Structure 1
Amino acid sequence: MLQLQSFVFNPLQENTYVLFDETKECVVIDPGCYDIDEQHDLVDFIDTNGLKVVKLLNTHCHVDHVLGNAFVKERYKTRLYIHPLEEPVLKAVKVYAPHYGIFNYHEADPDAFLKEGEPVTFGNQSLNVLFVPGHAPGHVAFYHTAQKIVIGGDVLFYNSIGRTDLPGGDFDTLISSIHQKLFTLPDDVTVYPGHGPETTIGYEKKTNPFCAL
């Protein structure tokens, strides 16, 4: 059975997720841990529960979602997976991070690339990769079919959507991604977003002021 632990990290209040199961294998998604205390919180959970980090995944590569990439890669000797269209987005972080007041960002290169239709596996689990651009050019979401969970990054929020005014963003593309990829999932799927509380597909289809059907 898939289990999920979330953390809220860095000044931009980003949601980091650890997914694991009875095998103790786990994946870390969007590690936003920035300072020593945040790094300790992540390590304490992983180590206390005897978990083995087998993959590091980014939904997309904006600064708040990648601050802990280098730390997780080095500590757990694991590989970083991103969508290929996010590689230039990731490389740009070191250039603009100081404008966010972030001066000790450590760069981490991707080791492998995600592709829609090629699942991410760990333990006894499988995550479907959904290509959902609009907030970022290579944004993906991770869908666990059996337990109806989607790790959605900055695409769909509780009564909101991801911003589209950053480089590579596009409002129409984002809305299309939501309607064609996320809103075709069952209504009782729980969405765990990159910021804020979880929500459900059905609730957002009915109430979201930006994209309700």
Structure 2
Amino acid sequence: MKVTCLTFNPFQENTYLLHDDSKECVVVDPGCYEKHEQEELKQYIEAQGLRVVKLLNTHCHIDHVLGNHFVAQAYNVALEIHQDDLQTLRAVPAYAPAYGFPMYQEELPASHLKEGDTVKFGTTELQVLFTPGHAPGHVVFYNAKEKICIGGDVLFQNSIGRTDLPGGDFNTLIQSIRTKLFTLPEEVTVYPGHGPETTIGHEKKYNPFLR
């Protein structure tokens, strides 16, 4: 599985394209709002000859869902989220204009992800892990074979996701990290929703929030 990161919007959100030799592609957390951002995503997909087959959200804060409608319409794919984050998603239209996104278009999920689900595309399998705390319905996607975790806003390089937004809870987040992420092999690479990738081993050793 190849991981391509495109960083969009003023929140500098990491949008991930997951693809393998089959050329099937999964878009995770599309943050592309402006036309030129949508074009960048589209051009990369076309240049690589990819076929988008799934649209996934780790969670539904505004910076991670701005491009959901564009991707769903452009590639005829249905959004998949965890049921517990539907309220988070439904709240976005009310506050999007105040955040500078007056043209936000809502895309609602057609199906829901849950702990233990396997997301399959091409020759790749991703395990869904339920990791609330930053958002009530947060999930991460783990490729055990290649030791890759698409982590959303749970764990960052030397930091953790914020817990002061509606539905956030510090103790729940720490519990998610310790029981779901820190039980993964230390060599697992975590691709977060913002900033550079890190590893489980590095965060166990150096993350000041988790010592």
Corresponding position of 2:80: 81
Alignment partners' CA distance in 2, 1:84 and 1:31:
19
- Deviations along 1:26-49, one digit per CA (max 9) or x if unpaired, are 100000001011001100011111
Give the 3-state SS of the residue equivalent to 1:38 in structure 2: helix
1:98 aligns with 2:97: yes
| 2: CA distance, partners of 1:130 / 1:172 | 18
* Distance apart, 1:4 and its partner CA: 1.0
Letter in 1 for 2:153: D
For 1:136, the aligned partner's letter is A
C-alpha separation between the residues in 1 aligned to 2:54 and 2:114?
15
Alignment of 1:72-151 (within 5 A): 72-151=71-150
Q: Counterpart of 1:33 in 2: which secondary structure?
A: coil
Deviation at 1:100, TM superposition (A): 1.1
Secondary structure in 1 matching 2:194: coil
Q: 2:20 aligned with 1:4, yes or no? A: no
| One-letter amino acid of the counterpart of residue 179, structure 1 | R
Alignment partner of 1:12: what SS?
Answer: coil
Q: Where do 1:191-202 residues align within 5 Å? A: 191-202=190-201
Distance (whole Å) between structure 1 residues aligned to residue 117 and residue 207 of structure 2: 30
Q: Distance in 2 between matches of 1:101 and 1:206?
A: 38
Aligned to 1:209: 208
CA distance in 1, matches of 2:107, 2:125: 25
Question: Once the two structures are superposed, what CA deviation does each residue of 1:150-197 show, in whole Å capped at 9, x if it has no partner?
Answer: 000000000000000000000000000000000000000000000000
TM-score, normalised to structure 1, is 0.98
Aligned position for 1:23: 22
What's the offset of the Cα at 1:99?
1.9
Indicate the SS of the match to 1:73.
Answer: helix
Alignment partner of 1:48 is 2:27:
no
Q: Which residue of 2 aligns with 1:174?
A: 173
SS in 2 for 1:47: helix
Task: Give the partner amino acid of 1:141.
Answer: V
Q: How many angstroms does 1:15 deviate by? A: 0.2
Local SS of the residue matching 1:28? strand
SS in structure 1 at match of 2:52: strand
> Structure 2: any 5+ residue segments left out of the alignment?
none
Tell me how far apart the structure 1 counterparts of residues 41 and 210 of structure 2 sit (CA, whole Å): 34
Moved over 3 A (4+): none
What's the % identity of the aligned pairs?
A: 63
